[in-house]
Amino acid sequence: MRISSRTGRRLRAAAGAAVLGTTLLGLAAGPAAAAEPHHTRYYLALGDSLAAGYQSLPGGGHEVGHGYAQDLARTLGQRAAADRRGFSFTDLGCPGETSGSMINGGCAFPHDYQGPQLAAAVAYLKAHHKDDLTVTLDIGANNVDGCADGGSLDAACAAKGIATAGKDLGTILTALKSAAGPHTRIVGMNLYDPFLAAWMTDAQGQAMATLSVPLADTLNGVLEFQDFVHGVPTADVAGAFDTNSFLPLVDLGGQRVPLNVARIMSWTNMSRGDIHANDTGYQVIADAFLRKL
């Protein structure tokens, strides 16, 4: 087919315009594409001693900063590096924090910020409102930790602690969600049951360990409910620790014990009376969070 000279000029003009348009688009996209690899991802850990990475040491004393948040930060940092992104990790967790002290202040363990942890967390979220931010939260264990003093479980103490933890978690999550930006992901967690270690003592201890599981389930149900109504996923730490699995029986130092008891004795420091996870247990918790991220 023959093309007239006038038509040919129009086609050449259209082609030139298309090339120019493509070039301009490329120039416009260039700076954004170049800036993207330098975009920083942020991770904020909130909560009590588990978030702070507290562990007792075999010879006495303790250390802080060696827990699930550090394990999780290492993995998230590696992912950011693989994507050519920066990474920043901040841990506000305070050993001994209850849900009430998180809201109102009063955590006795030394920490870097002034006032309540929740206020510091809200300020951080507002400062990073436009950033790619991951937040993890564990709270509530210290609300019931003292309910097993004297070698028996105080059901009334546990019930009060569970109710308070649920109410306060609702307040905490409401404040965090209100301050969170469009690229903020908040993940909560349920809790393992350190009282299962009583199984290793005597028949009375085995009865206490058995009773502790439904109480742990009740606390976890309250925490999970608050997460759900606030649109926050829950890392299933209780499931990862097989908290409800009294069967099968497995070998532990030459004894046959329930699986859930073996998990507590192997993944926490309860062999020396410390409810906190050890290195293995903290990595299990970090992995539970990663399944929600």
Residues 31, 146, single domain; the answer is no
Residues 63, 6, single domain; the answer is no
pLDDT at 148: 81
Query: What's the token pair of residue 242?
Result: 């097989």
Phi-psi label, residue 82: left if phi above 0, alpha if psi -120 to 50, beta otherwise: alpha
pLDDT at 152: 80
Query: What's the token pair of residue 132?
Result: 């790619």
Residues 25, 103, single domain; the answer is no
Q: pLDDT band for 14, please (50, 70, 90 cuts).
A: very low
Mean pLDDT, all residues of the chain: 89
Average pLDDT over residues 47-56: 97
**Do residues 242 and 257 make contact, with C-beta atoms less than 8 angstroms apart?**
no
Residues 124, 3, single domain; the answer is no
Per-residue pLDDT of 81-90, as tens digits, reads: 999 999 999 9
Residues 18, 134, single domain; the answer is no
Residues 4, 71, single domain; the answer is no
CA dihedral (279, 284, 289, 290) in degrees, to 10, reads 100
Residues 55, 4, single domain; the answer is no
Domain count along the chain: 2
Q: pLDDT band for 38, please (50, 70, 90 cuts).
A: low
Residues 10, 50, single domain; the answer is no
Average pLDDT over residues 8-15: 42
**Is the bond preceding 248 in cis, omega lying within 30 degrees of 0?**
yes
CATH code at 54? 3.40.50.1110
Average pLDDT over residues 100-125: 96
Identify which has the larger pLDDT, 70 or 34: 70
| Residue 145 clears pLDDT 70, i.e. is over it | yes
Residues 129, 8, single domain; the answer is no
What is the C-alpha separation between 213 and 169, in angstroms, rounded?
Answer: 21
Residues 64, 179, single domain; the answer is yes
Task: Give me the percent of the chain exceeding a pLDDT of 70.
Answer: 86
Q: pLDDT band for 68, please (50, 70, 90 cuts).
A: very high
pLDDT at 153: 84
Least confident of 17-26, 106-115, 131-140, 284-293: 17-26
Average pLDDT over residues 288-293: 97
Domain assignment of residue 207, given as a range: 40-290
pLDDT at 3: 41
Residues 34, 52, single domain; the answer is no
Per-residue pLDDT of 156-213, as tens digits, reads: 999 999 999 999 999 999 999 999 999 999 999 999 999 999 999 999 999 999 999 9
Average pLDDT over residues 234-240: 98
Residues 99, 112, single domain; the answer is yes
pLDDT at 172: 98
pTM for the whole thing?
0.86
What is the C-alpha separation between 210 and 179, in angstroms, rounded?
Answer: 41
